Structure 1
């Protein structure tokens, strides 16, 4: 679609444009991840593949994490969690993402559950 056909930007030349903070996010760089953190991320990705292979056929759709910041449960589907971890490895930060849509908590398990289940299957 040609640019001149689009409606005008309602925030054009507005110093309080809420989208300006999004551009600042592109410029922000935190501390680079350490070798130990990188190793942990790689281990988490490897574990995630095992967990998904064992649990997805049993109806588990992903992992739930209790967020200490907002005190709510965050439901991560397998592919979204993998993408977030891979992005953290490459970009050294996670961008905001959409949460799972209307998740059924019965279809999500914790990392601890995954570890225990994997240990039980391995013994």
Structure 2
């Protein structure tokens, strides 16, 4: 949307604008990511697709992450987590996002749980090759 199509800022030129406490917006992109970080993000996106395919039919809506800053769990639906990882891949940083509204903790699992579940699912796949010999 063009800037001039937006309604006027009611605090324009107001020295008491409460938004001044927030500082200037960060419109600059983040630092470029390294090739190793890029590879890790691409692997995480691939893993995320597998986790979603395996766990959505079981009622799991996404991943819960324990935040080191606020010590609270953060609930990320599959689509939000994918969008955040894609944004990190493209921009070198993740922008703030709205938290899940009134999430049911039983609908979310940790990344480690997803990984273990996927590993277990792979181990339980039927063999399609020739039978093993002694």
* TM-score grouping bracket, smaller chain normalisation: 0.7 to 0.9
Query: Radius of gyration: which is bigger?
Result: 2
TM-score of the pair, normalised by structure 1 = 0.86
SS state of the match for residue 74, structure 2? strand
* 1:77 corresponds to: 77
Structure 1 residue 19: Cα displacement: 6.5
Aligned runs of 1:1-123 on 2, under 5 Å?
9-15=9-15, 17=17, 18=19, 21=22, 24-27=25-28, 29-123=29-123
In 2, Cα distance between the equivalents of 1:100 and 1:78? 11
Contact 2:32/2:91, CA 8 A, preserved across alignment? no
Which of the two has greater helix per residue?
A: 1
Unaligned runs of 5+ in 1: none
Structure 1 residue 117: Cα displacement: 0.4
Unaligned runs of 5+ in 2: 124-134
Q: Deviation digits for residues 17-75 of structure 1, max 9, x if unmatched?
A: 41795753113x43321111111100000000000000000000000000101111000
Of 77-86 and 12-21, deviating more is 12-21
Cα RMSD for the two superposed structures = 2.2
* Number of residue pairs aligned between Structure 1 and Structure 2: 118
